Each structure stands twice: as C-alpha cells, then as structure tokens.
Structure 1
Amino acid sequence: MPALPSRAAIARQPAGRHRTVSSLLSSIVGITLTTAILTATPLAHASADAIHPGHGAQASTLVRTTLGPIIGRDEGRSSGTYSWLGIPYAEPPVGHLRWRPPEPHRSWKEVRRAQRYGSGCTQPGRFFSPSPNGPFYDLSVRDGLQQPVGEEDCLTLNVFRPATSKRNLPVVFFIHGGSNVVGYSADPMYDGRELAKRAQAVVVTVNYRVGIFGWLNAEGLGDGDPLSTSGNFGTLDLIEALRFVDRNARRFGGDSHNISVMGQSAGAVDVWSLLVSPLARGMVDKAIPLSGGLSTAKVANARAYADRVIQAAESDYPSSGMRGVDLLRSLSADDLVRVLVKHKLDATPAVIADGTVIPSDPYAVLESGADRDVPVLAGNTLEEGKLFGSSIGAHKPSDYDRFTLQYSFDPDEPGALTVSDLLKDQYLPVDKPGGWNDAAAALTESIFTGINRDSLDALARSGNRSLYHYRFDWNQEPAPFDQVYGAVHAIDLPFVFHNFGRNVFSYAFSRQNRPGRLELSDLMIAGVRSFLTTGSPQHRGLGRTWDRWPASLVVDADDQHVHLGSVTDG
C-alpha cells in the first residue's frame, strides 16, 4: 500500500497529480473492479490475497481500497447500481484533532461494511440539515432547526457506480451546499445512483467539516503549522477526500485521469477554491460549479469573527477558568453550536484567503492560466434569491411552520393555500415594483449571478475556451409555490441527480408536471454525461448548439415538453 503523506509533506507536495505509484499498484495488486465487479468473478478467486466475506452474493461489491477492504450494496436488480456508503477517508476530527488538518484514516485489515451513510457533520439545524435522529431527511428536521445536529465524527464519503462491467468510467466528486455551515452527503437529493447509471459515471458524495469546525482562523491555533493556522479545515477535508478518490478511482472502475469536481451553492464555492488551491493542483480535470462562484473571506475578517466567537464563549462560561482557544477546545461540539446560535454567530466566514491553502489573491490565479485547460460547466437558476426570503423578512410563517407546511404539502392536492399565506403583505402582489419578484431578483444578482459572472470572466481572460453555462428556468410548481419559489436556488439539483422522491422540494413535483420535468432531467443529465467524457455538454438531444460563455443555454419545460433558449451574459 502506498505510504500516506504527513501534514508537513502535504504542504510541500508539488503541483502534479499523486497518481503514478497508486495507479500502478491498483492495477497490479489491488483487488479492483477489474478482478471482481467488472468480470463478475467471485473475489475469493481473484487474487492470492483475496478476502472471504462469507456472503457470496455481495462479493461483487468487495473492493480493496488503499485504506482497507470494504463491501458495499449490490442493487443491480433494483436500481442497476452498486454503492459504498460511509467510507471513512480521514480520522475523526475530535479531541486534539479538532481544528487540525485531516489525518488520513488508519488502515484496516478486516472487511468493513460500507452500507450505511455516515453522520452529517456537527451544525446548527436549518432546512438543509440532517434530522436530529441521524443522516436522514424526515419531518424531524424541523425539530432540529436552530439546534445542534450531526456529529463531529463525520469525515466519510459515498461511491455509486453502474452495476455493469464497464471500466475507466468518468468520476464525479460532488460537494454539497449549505453556506459552508450546514448540509450532509446523505441528503436524498444527492443520492448518486440515478446519476451514476444515467451518466455512466462513478459518483462520489462527501461530508466535510462545516461552520466553525470547518473554518476558524483564531489566535493560538496552529502552533506554527501553516495548514492549521490557515483555518481552512473544511477545504483541507475536501482535498483529503479528493486525494482518496484520486488514489482509489480505478478500484471502483473509474478513470483517475478524468475526475470532475461538482458542487452546488457553497459546494460550488468550494469547487472554485479547489481550482485555485495549490494543494489540489492537478487533481481536478473538469469542474461543474452550480449556483456559486469564487468567493473568499479575508484573514482579517475571519480573525475578527473568531474573536467574537471567543468573546461569546467567555461570556457564557465565565467560571470555566479557561479563555480563548483553550475554552473553545474544552466545549463539546453541541455546546459550541449553542453558543453560536445564541449569539447569532453561525454564519462562518469561509473560504479564507490565507495564502497557503487558498491564495491571497485567488482571482489572480484564475486569470493566470493555471486552469486554462480545465473545462467548466456552470449553472444558475433564474430565481436563486427566492430561497432566501428569511434574510429580508419576507416569509410570513416561522421556519418551523414553513418546513411543516412544505413537508406536508401534496402537490397533487394543493388545497386552498395562497401566496399571502406564505409572504408578507409588503411584498404583494409579487409582480409590483418593489414586490417579491424584484426583491428576490436583487438577491439573485448580489449573491449568485454576479459572482458567477466574475469567476467565469476571469477564467475566460486566462485563455480558457471550454466554458459553458446554463440558466434553469423551470417553475411549474403547483400554486402558490410557482410564485413564492419558482426557479429557486437548488431546485435544479433533483433534475441533475434525477431524484424526485421525498426531499426538501417535494412540494414541487406533481403528476401533472411529471412528463416535462422528466424530459428536462434526461436532457440535463445527457449534457453532464457528454461534458464528463468530452469536456463539452453538447449532445444530439439538444437539437441546437450549446454556445460557450458568455452565452447561456436556457433550460425550461412546461408540463409536457422541454423548451430551450439562449441568452448572453458577461
């Protein structure tokens, strides 16, 4: 097994890929899909060091990773996929490892079951958080709102692939959104089975530290270690997870030389951060940032935030006898979240332009040409800002009541619910000057489309000619959600993943709009599949040319059929 680098070695690593040794060993001695899944040969006969799981029917999902053997789920008959869930890629970031760079997980010899999602990372409960009961989406999510949910021991990833004999499949490394404060890879929107099957790809979804556990630049952290001092622990988690995928892609039937990093919202911000980070240089072959651009926090702002957190903790625990970072380390993860929520400090500055993990001038890196050869497929929804009504006090119900209402809403039996039940009078009617549509459009531009434009334009100035963008206009939800949310932030994700079951957007998906949305989902996934293999989302099913940036392909559908258009930005 290749030796895993120390933190100091990581800081010194050159820009190139870490592939040659691990890829060679994978192809020669690893128990890979070539010898197991791809040939349907029982693993016990695959090689001299094969593992005997005692479950012959599951041998098709037994894979030896660089850390140890795992056995996943064979759903070939039901979903046409194999999956491996909750694979630990780093040591639990607890105790002395809190606010330290991720340590590669210790290896194991016995077969490890990878059949259940790992816990979401500790966070203050919001709409896109896991349930207090675990990494699930259910009605109990509302009971965790503004409460600590998740666990500190959370650094796991999930792998999905088609249940076929194909090898050298493109790899998608997906980073969930949630303002880099909340979110979890087990969110049903991110179930990678359909995307893996339809795009013929290996799909990876990943947990990473969020909020104050993922980004904290405080005096006293680091002891001179530049990675710890940076405060970018969530970014370092993603780099460690990407390194695991880079080393193990071939063992799951993927192509380690064709890894596309995809993320949505804050996950898209993280995609851009990986493009500019010297520690991830060479590990990103293509990028798919959805609803997010390159955005970083200044060190001074991050340090000021850390000072406020310390002051809040000291005011809540005056008799602890501890101060500063020592006090923060002494608190349980849940108690620390309670401090943040109480003092309204849960909006953590991230990603931090520290000069080591993230360059001090990240836009200069984009313009330098370092990523000139990385194709980019970006996207935005038309009405991104309509998810953020709470930020301007537009929603009439409390978040608790709004979650309950949306969770219980039957899109096939809409009932008597009206726009005025959901939005305050000052924003009605929605199309009046200064109404909800105008207010949401201002949020869309200030938070999303402006930074997306800046990021793509910077790459274009570098000489990158493989830049593509879509605008998602679908707003066929039953009333009143067609006006309250419409083509809202993140609603394109169920289309990209082809997941229209129970999730935070279930209120939108009716029998009436099913034909059009399924056709639109198929078209979007076909574009992703083409992009993964060729670097261009162009495909025959479009019936038109997908022009490069600054043009955007407008994707939409009525209840029955897809409608495409084009606009020019920039």
Structure 2
Amino acid sequence: MIVEAFIKKNVNVFILLLSFFVLWSCDIPETQEVLDGIDSTASEDTADKTVSAAEDTSSPLIRETKQGLVMGKEAEDRAYAWLGVPYAKPPVGELRWRTPQDPDPWEGVLDTVAFGSYCVQYGNFISETDPEAYGEVCGSEDCLYLNIWRPKTNEKKLPVFVFLYGGGNFLGRGDLTVYDGMNLAVKTNMITVTLNYRLATFGFFAHPAVRTGDESEDSGNFGTLDIIKMLKWLNENIKAFGGDKDNITISGQSAGALNVYSMMASPLAEGLFHRAIAFSGFPSASPMSGAEEGTGRIVNRLLKKDNYEIQGLSVINEEGMVVFDDLSDYLRSKTIEEVYDPNYSWISGVPLNGTRWINASILGIIADGYVIPKDPKILFKKGEYNHVPFIAGNTTEELKLFLPMFFFGENAEYAMIQGFDPDNPDVDINDWLNPLFRLLLDLYDPLTDVINSLFELAATDLSARGLSKHQDVYVYRFAWNDEPEPFDHYVGAGHAMDLPFVFGNFSTDPESCTRFGWSEENKENREALSDAMMTYYSQFARTGDPNPPESELPVWKPWTRRLGENERIIFDSGGPYLEKDKQIKQGRLETLARLIGL
C-alpha cells in the first residue's frame, strides 16, 4: 500500500526525472553567439533585416506572408530554406509574460537567410561549445522565429513536418545542426519546420501579478501558446511556401514530445495539425497550485535581493517608499540575468555549487483549466483531446545520454568527444572517469536497464494504452548502438540518438557532440536505417499510416489492448523488424495503469 500511494502521488515527478533533459547536439551555427549582459529589449528589429523593395519578387526564394515578403536562400543546390522567419512579435517589455502577438508588418523584402536568436537559457554542454559559457545566461527574449526547408521544386501542397526540440522546457533551440531540415525535406519531398519557443521562467510563469483576466495569459503557459501561435502562422502562410495547411504533422523529442502531447490536449490547438509523433516523451502537466508556488519563490527571491517588500499591489523599499506602483511593472523591469540568477536554484530555494543549468526549470506545462484543461493523461483516458493519427516510442538505452555527465563530468565528456576520431578510436575510459564513480561502473548497465524498462512502460506504453482506446497508435523502439568503442557501450541507443536518423544528419564536424558515433564502418547500415525511418515517418505524415505501398519494409501494425499481442517496430542496425511484447510485460503495464488510476 505504501508503494502504491507513493507511485500515485509522484508519478509525474518520477517520469519527468527519467526524461528531464534534452536535445543533444552541440553544433552551433556561426550566426549565433553567447549574449553576455543582454537585457530584456529586442535584440534586433525586423526592419534591420529588410532588403530593397526592388528585389525580383518572381524569384522562388521570395515568398509572401501575411506580414510581408521574405527572401530565403538555396541550401546545397537541393533545397530552399527560409531561416529566422518571425511568427510572433518579440515578447519583450510589456509583452513579457503575454500571449504571443502577430508580427508587425514590414515594407520591402525581409532577409531570412540566418537563424534568429534562440530563447533565454543557461549555457550548457548541450547547446554551447564554449565551456566558459556553461551556467551563464545566453540567448534573447526576442526569439520567436521559425525555419522552413523545402525541396528545390515547384511542387505544391507538400505535407508539413514540424519538429519541437527537447530540453526539459528550460533548454533547447531550433537551429542545431542535427535539426537541419534540408535532408529530410529533400529525401521525403516534404516541408520541414523548426522553431524557438519561450522556456523556463519566460515560458511557464503562473504568478498572479502578471495576470490580466485573459484566460490564455492567466494560464502561465506562454511556451505552449508560442507553439500554438506557430501552428496558426503555418495555417495562414505555409501555402506560400508550397505547403498543405491541411496536412501538418507535429513531432517532438523529450520535452518536445511533452509539448506534442500538450497540443493534443489543448482545445486551442484543435484543427491546427493533423498527425502527431512523440519521440521519447510522455504526457504530463503540473497543477496550477504548484506552478504558483514555484513562481512565488522566484518573485520572493527577487524582492529579497533588492530589499523590497509588497504592500498591496505596490512594491516598497526599506524606507516604505513606493518604488513600483504595481508588482508586474517591477517584474518586467528585471533583466534576464536578474531573473536567471546563475547561483540560485529556483527548485530548491537554496544556493547552488554545482551544475547550474539543470535547476533552471520551474514546473513546465501547467494544467490551468483553459489552455491545458487537465493533465493530458486524464484527457486521453476520457477521449477528450484532439484525435489525430499518432506514433510514440523511445530508445533502448534512454538513460545513457545522462549518466556520462555524472560519471565523467560535463567538461570532461565534452573534451573526450572532441578529441575522438571514430575511424581510429583510442579513448581509454579510465582516463576520463570521475574517480568517485569507478567503483560504480559495474552498475552502469544494470541501472540503465532498469530505468529504461520503467521509462518505456511509464511513458511510451502507458500513452499508447490510453490513446489506443480511441484511435490507432503506432509504437516503435530505437535500438541502434553501433558506435565505435567505447561509445557503443557508454552511449549506445541513448536518449535522442535516434534524431540524426530521423533527419538524416550525421555530422562529423569537430564541434558536433555526436561525431563520435559516425564511422566509415557503420556508415552503410546507419544510412540504410535512416532511409527506412524517414520512409515510415514521411508516409505517416502524408496519410496517417506509416506503411508505404508496395514496399519490402515490415508492415508496422497499430497497437492493441490485448495482453501479449502488441507489436512494435524495432529500428536496429540490421534494419527494421517487428517484435511482439511478452505477456508478462503487458501485465506490468496493466498494473502500473491501475496504480496511477489510468
């Protein structure tokens, strides 16, 4: 009974800890840099990007949006790309903690050939190449931009494939090399889209002081509203790029998958998308009471640091003088560094002495009653959600992305990867291993096996079980782990290792955190597997069924609710194959569902 009570009370926290972090590539475009000392003002006005109105508007690089003309670029003579396209007005100043607004229209042609700024976050091993930036405040509040790739053809009404990045909803950026949409667009004849959306305190902030009486703004789910705004923008504008607004697939990995589930749960997103894919994520939302408590700690810390207090609606100083008539004005006056105190944990309320960026999340998506009516798991059970064809799955060794950060340390792991030649592997793990963890190395595989089994049950299988009651659901597991030694063992089929296969991006650039995996020896089998995966996912985006006609690929069957009869497709080095779940595993799934009331 004690165990059952604990699981019921802590299931969301338990699952969140399993999938807390990330995206994963360290490739940073040259157009981006760490912005030290940046304040809350917009980093660049769209007028600064506008080129002459005399441009040849008949060029295929120039397309007309509701706000004005945009000019993209050719990508390796195989695709067209429009980068840094504004889908909302910069959420700065009075628009901080407000619903996203339409971008201001512009005159002439807007130059969209470089990525826009990514959203405010702490610099970290995942998204910055300079260890000196770890723990420092990076990015900008002016970050609501999207990126579009399409094949270099004149074809119209192409399916649209949107990807939402991972990172716990406190890290992430849509411009990482692993997310480059060119290969996916060209190989599958689709349009691919990535974007940035607000994170952490700027994305999920439920303090009563910033409420206006508008149900959307009062939800605190500003990052969620950004994604909905992006979908509305696509519905209004993607036709100009050759896309089909009636055939939009949303996909996401880790926290991006959580955001996919939130789109399925939100009535505000109804009709804005038509298929959904969740890579290594789970449905979850925090209660409003917990979100208010978390944001309250942030506000109290800021006031205490300034020696201010709240008196009614006003902010007063030590002498009792009113310094701000309204608490919301005070909060919007703070710089991003003041809001993101790098030495203070928003979760525990105590100073930090270690890795800082993992403490940047408050509570993430909020079950506010309007944008997210209830915890998505409850909505899925009742069938009260946006019904669309759905794929869910995970990797075989999810935890192996995270454990090396603790066994080796963040800086050591980065240095080890940068000095590794996948075609001439010469890494000795003992040279990098934290001495404190050497005695625990024998537990590495058993620990990952246990956690990964729990993750698959609690995230993928539980979601598939709930949704398959109302519709077809397709389930996969990614198992490729053919990296050169020792990374085949210590990373393997870790969290996010499937993303290079989804996008067809196997970067060996020196700054890439995945360069260790791509050797000449495994090139043929990984590229063949990537092609098969892209075939399944693009066919799903076109029709809602992942099975291509007249194909030699295994037939991917929908999930069932019958014990011992569920089949999932396995993506491995020998190619895709089907695996039937053992009845004992399905029995465990039913037990878990019963324990948490699903």
TM-score range, shorter chain: 0.7 to 0.9
1:372–1:148 CA distance, 2 compared to 1 (3 A): closer
- Whether 2:528 is the aligned partner of 1:519: answer yes
Deviation at 1:476, TM superposition (A): 1.0
Residues 34-433 of structure 1: pairs in structure 2 closer than 5 A: 54=54, 59-75=59-75, 78-129=76-127, 131=128, 139-140=129-130, 142-318=131-307, 321=317, 325-339=328-342, 341=344, 343=351, 345-371=359-385, 373-389=387-403, 395-418=406-429, 421-422=432-433, 426=437, 432=442
RMSD: 2.4
- Report the secondary structure of 1:60's partner residue: coil
| CA displacement at 1:258 relative to structure 2 | 0.5
Please say if 1:493 is aligned against 2:482: no
Q: 1:215 to 1:535 in 2, by over 3 A?
A: same
Give the counterpart letter for 1:351 in structure 2.
I
Q: Tell me the distance in 1 between the aligned counterparts of 2:95 and 2:567.
A: 46
Counterpart code for 1:552: R
Q: CA deviation at 1:348?
A: 2.1
Q: Distance in 2 between matches of 1:64 and 1:485?
A: 45
Give the AA of the match of 1:148.
Answer: V
| TM-score, structure 1 as length reference | 0.82
CA distance in 2, matches of 1:223, 1:55: 43
Distance across 2 between alignment mates of 1:58 and 1:424 = 63
CA distance in 2 between counterparts of 1:158 and 1:416 reads 37
Counterpart position of 2:570: 554
- Decide whether aligned partners of structure 1 residues 106 and 55 sit closer, same or farther in structure 2, where only a CA change above 3 A counts: closer
CA, structure 1 residues 532+424, in 2 after alignment: closer, same or farther (shift >3 Å)?
A: farther
Change (3 A) 1:448 1:316: farther
Partner of 1:455: 463
From 492, 511, 519, give the equivalent of 1:510: 519
Q: Secondary structure at the match of 2:172?
A: coil
The count of aligned residue pairs is 498
Cα displacement string for residues 442-463 of structure 1 (whole angstroms, at most 9, x for unaligned residues): 44345565122222211112x2
Aligned-residue offset at 1:188: 0.6
How far off its partner does 1:262 sit? 0.7
- Cα distance change of structure 1 residues 525 and 428 upon mapping to structure 2, 3 Å threshold: farther
Q: Is the 8 A contact 1:87 1:156 kept in 2?
A: yes
* CA shift for structure 1 position 177: 0.8
Distance 2:220 2:490 in 1: 38
1:221 is displaced (CA, Å) by 1.7
* Distance (Å, rounded) in 1 between the aligned partners of 2:483 and 2:106: 48
Name the CA shift for 1:160/1:314 in 2 (closer, same or farther; >3 Å).
same
- Distance, in Å, in 1 between the alignment partners of 2:301 and 2:379 is 36
| Residues 17-57 of structure 1: CA deviation (Å, up to 9, x unaligned) | xxxxxxxxxxxxxxxxxxxxxxxxxxxxxxxxxx9865559
Per-residue CA deviation, residues 376-414 of structure 1 (Å, 9 max, x unaligned), is 122211111112227xxx723331222222233221222
Q: Is the alpha carbon distance of 1:494 and 1:98 closer, same or farther for their aligned partners in structure 2, counting shifts above 3 Å? A: same
Assess, with a 3 A threshold, how the Cα gap between structure 1 residues 513 and 277 changes in structure 2: closer, same or farther. Answer: same
- Aligned in 2, Cα 1:86/1:318: closer, same or farther, shift over 3 Å? same
Query: Closer, same or farther in 2 for the Cα pair 1:334/1:442, shift >3 Å?
Result: farther
Deviations 1:270-289 (A, max 9, x none): 00100110100111200011
Tell which deviates more after alignment, 319-328 or 152-161: 319-328
Distance 1:438 1:446 in 2: 13
**Offset at 1:317?**
2.8
The Cα of 1:209 is off from its aligned counterpart by 0.3
**Native 8 Å contact 2:554 2:578 kept in 1:** no
Distance 1:456 1:421, change over 3 A: same
How far off its partner does 1:486 sit?
0.8
Aligned partners of 1:63, 1:285: CA distance in 2, in Å?
Answer: 24
> CA separation of 1:447/1:220 partners in 2, compared to 1, >3 Å: closer, same or farther?
farther
Separation in 2, partners of 1:446, 1:58: 55
* CA distance in 2: counterparts of 1:309 and 1:446, whole angstroms: 33
Partners of 1:488 and 1:206 in 2: CA distance: 24
**TM norm structure 2:** 0.78
Q: Distance in 1 between matches of 2:276 and 2:84?
A: 24
Aligned-pair CA distance for 1:70 = 0.4
Change (3 A) 1:160 1:271: same
**Could you tell me how far 1:126 is from its partner in structure 2?**
2.1
Q: Which amino acid aligns with 1:464?
A: Q
Q: Report the Cα offset of residue 233 of structure 1.
A: 0.2
Q: Deviations over 1:198-235 (max 9, x none)?
A: 11111110100011110011121213222222110000
Offset, 1:419: 6.0
Task: Give ranges in structure 2 of 5+ residues lacking alignment.
Answer: 1-50, 309-315, 318-322, 346-350, 353-358, 560-565, 590-598
| Aligned-partner residue type, residue 436 of structure 1 | Y
What is the distance in 2 between the residues matched to 1:340 and 1:239?
33
In the TM superposition, residue 335 of structure 1 has moved relative to its aligned partner by 2.5
Are 2:207 and 2:292, in contact at CA under 8 Å, matched by a contact in 1?
A: yes
Moved more, 494-503 or 260-269: 494-503
SS at match of 2:155: coil
Residue 547 of structure 1: how far off its partner (Å): 1.8
Q: 1:521 to 1:428 in 2, by over 3 A?
A: farther
Q: Deviations over 1:254-281 (max 9, x none)?
A: 1111100011110000001001101001
Distance 1:448 1:85, change over 3 A: farther
How far is 1:428 from its partner?
Answer: 5.8
CA contact (8 A) 1:58 1:74 kept: no
SS at match of 1:106: coil
Letter in 2 for 1:547: K
* Alpha-carbon distance, 1:298 to partner: 1.2
Partners of 1:216 and 1:331 lie apart in 2 by 15
1:564 aligns with 2:567: no
Report the counterpart of residue 531 of structure 1 in structure 2: 540
Partners of 1:470 and 1:555 within 8 A in 2:
yes
Q: Give the Cα separation in 2 of the matches to 1:283 and 1:479.
A: 45
**1:318, CA displacement in angstroms?**
2.5
Q: Offset of 1:241 from its aligned partner?
A: 0.6
CA distance in 1, matches of 2:460, 2:580: 15
Amino acid of the structure 2 residue aligned with 1:254: G
Q: Which runs of 5+ in 1 are unaligned?
A: 1-50, 132-138
Paired amino acid for 2:553: G
The corresponding residue for 1:7 is: none
Distance 1:115 1:383 in 2: 37
Q: Deviation at 1:508? A: 1.1
Describe the superposition over 1:53-87 as per-residue Cα deviations: whole angstroms up to 9, x where unpaired.
Answer: 65559811110011111010123xx2410010000
1:196 to 1:109, Cα distance in 2 relative to 1, 3 A: same
Question: CA offset at residue 471 of structure 1?
Answer: 0.4
Q: Deviations over 1:72-124 (max 9, x none)?
A: 0123xx24100100001111111111111111111123110110000110001
Structure 2 counterpart of 1:12: none
Q: Which has the higher contact order (CA 8 A, sep 6+)?
A: 2
The amino acid across from 1:64 in the alignment is E
C-alpha separation in 1, matches of 2:429 and 2:505:
27
